[in-house]
Structure 1
Amino acid sequence: MCAPRIVRLAHENAARPSRRALFAAAGLTALAAAAPPARAVPAARGVLDLTHTLGPGLPRWPGTPPFTTVPVAWHAIGGFGQNALAYWEHSGTHLDAPAHRVPGGVTTDALAVADLVAPLVVIDISARAECDPDAALTIDDIENWQIEHGRIPERAFVAVHSGWERHIDDAAAFLNLDAGGVPHAPGVSPDAAAYLVQRCEVVGVGVDTLSLDHALSRDQGAHTAILGAGRYGVEMLANLGAAPASGATVVIGAPKHLGGTGGPCRVLALT
């Protein structure tokens, strides 16, 4: 794992401030004292944040190291604050690029930008998932949504609201391992994933859990159907219960690092 090495290097670099930084420290401390207090910025009307704040306490798959932040520059020494960040690509609210599942698939830097702004469709399976942690989106769920709201627009982004976010502050409950170490959480059935890609021509599919597939899946059929078709996924979405079932636009602030299989992203719904 690279994370411990990154943290160690960050600490070593932090211990060696530049001469220029040291000379500037005294004057900048006085400037900071004179600065007015920061004001809270009100949330913009019509913009809903579908992103969890990335931090070390967020649930993650076993074996994945936590998100780590290490200060490496300070306002009092040099005039600027800066952190070194260490995290695995698939941490927090994050995007799955096709390359995550498909060898040679599209990577984060090659995603079509036109596909990152799309009509937002939210399909609610939370009532079923509350009683059955292994619930999965089905073709019937999709067709019932269309009976009520009309045909899913072409090139839409479909998000599955399971209500699993209620466990976000309890990592053990979010992962939901049974006595045998098997996780249980909702997701998307392979048939429904294929239907969304082939019949609805979606650009991507999102969930409020750790995986596009329901946690019991062993063949990762939803991942294969979605990413294998060159579409993307977004996992661990937030606030889907506050998003309208239809009529909003989603903006996926996708990462763009060379050769990436995915990465944390900022997801906004314009309502």
Structure 2
Amino acid sequence: MTLTCCSILILGLSIIVGSGSQEFSVVDLTHELNADTVYWPGNPGFLFTILNRGPTPGGYWYESNKFETSEHGGTHLDAPAHFAEGKWRVHEIPAERLVGYGVVINVIDCVVENPDYRLKYFFLFFFSGFHPDAIDWLIQYRNISMIGVDTPSTDYGQSKTFDTHQRMAKAGIIGLENVNNLDKIPPSGSTIFVGVIKLFDGSGGPVRILALTGRKAEPACNCPLSGRNSGVSLSGCFLVLVVSMLFLSWMI
């Protein structure tokens, strides 16, 4: 399998309040869950069984199915418990951690030159995209709640120790992997919603990720990676995406 792009998502705390206006569009950031879904090596794949599909004796149509899937396959969430003992499992993740404003960082040129490219913390100021040191920097200087990528792992492909996973998990940061359509999100002004099965004791699970874009979805500022002493407030900027791609978001 050849991976042509990578992305990282970080979500923060925010609830969008409707105004009655429909001046927005919705972008689905989710891959379809099916027999072709990408799973981490060693994890069982996807199974789908039709239990009922057709007309009934009562004259109405009825469908019912059964599916089986590993937690960590396709577009999915990594709970902190995935790599840190005693941290949140899926059912313990606060709902407000699953919503945040978004900003896109484009690192495609870096990835083309180096498929194992990882974001260094100082590149955050130039909208580039992931190295474990970047996690440390974000934890220290930005209130990050979630990170998402369009590859199978928040760590770079050749990692053996999963340092990024470990640092995120210990800090209570949620991971999203195999995120789709990040190139369809504007550089700033989107709001991201992550729906995950509230799986008791789960270390992860499939998600449906939706991006709300348009004027009504825009945060209060458009500089989420501004310097610490820039004088620009980050209170309204919660999410950063990298095309190829990095996807970040901030908490209040």
Fold in common (TM above 0.5): yes
- Answering whether residue 160 of structure 2 is matched by residue 221 of structure 1, we say no
* Residue-pair matches, total: 188
Aligned-residue RMSD, C-alpha = 1.8
CA distance in 2, matches of 1:93, 1:109: 18
Match of 2:84, SS? coil
In structure 1, the partner of 2:105 is 123
Match of 2:101, SS? strand
CA distance in 2, matches of 1:74, 1:55: 18
CA distance in 2, matches of 1:90, 1:109: 16
Identify which range, 66-75 or 87-96, moves more after superposition: 66-75
Describe the superposition over 1:150-204 as per-residue Cα deviations: whole angstroms up to 9, x where unpaired.
xxxxxxxxxx5xxxxxxxxxxxxxxxxxxxxxxxxxxx21001222222111110
Describe the superposition over 1:70-92 as per-residue Cα deviations: whole angstroms up to 9, x where unpaired.
00122324742111101100111
Choose between structure 1 and 2: higher strand proportion.
2
The correspondence for 1:58, drawn from 24, 28, 37, is: 37
In structure 2, the partner of 1:241 is 183
TM-score scaled by length of structure 1: 0.66
In structure 1, the partner of 2:70 is 88
Deviation at 1:139, TM superposition (A): 1.0
The correspondence for 2:51, drawn from 72, 81, 88, is: 72
The correspondence for 2:25, drawn from 46, 59, 70, is: 46
CA distance in 2, matches of 1:143, 1:221: 22
Segments ≥4 residues shifted beyond 4 Å: none
- Answering whether residue 82 of structure 2 is matched by residue 103 of structure 1, we say no
Please, which runs of 5 or more residues in structure 2 have no aligned partner? 1-22, 214-252
**Native 8 Å contact 2:193 2:211 kept in 1:** yes
Deviation at 1:45, TM superposition (A): 5.2
CA distance in 1, matches of 2:103, 2:146: 11
Match of 2:209, SS? strand
The one-letter code sitting in structure 1 at the alignment partner of 2:116 is: D
Match of 1:75, SS? strand
**Native 8 Å contact 1:120 1:246 kept in 2:** yes
CA distance in 2, matches of 1:106, 1:57: 29
Please, which runs of 5 or more residues in structure 1 have no aligned partner? 1-43, 147-159, 161-187
Deviation at 1:270, TM superposition (A): 0.7
TM-score scaled by length of structure 2: 0.70
Give % identity: 35
**Native 8 Å contact 2:83 2:165 kept in 1:** yes
In structure 1, the partner of 2:142 is 200
CA distance in 1, matches of 2:89, 2:104: 26
In structure 2, the partner of 1:37 is none
Aligned positions of 1:110-259 closer than 5 A: 110-145=92-127, 188-259=130-201
CA distance in 2, matches of 1:212, 1:77: 47
Describe the superposition over 1:86-143 as per-residue Cα deviations: whole angstroms up to 9, x where unpaired.
1100111000000111112101111111111111122221111122111112212212
Choose between structure 1 and 2: higher helix proportion.
1
Match of 1:206, SS? strand
The one-letter code sitting in structure 2 at the alignment partner of 1:253 is: G
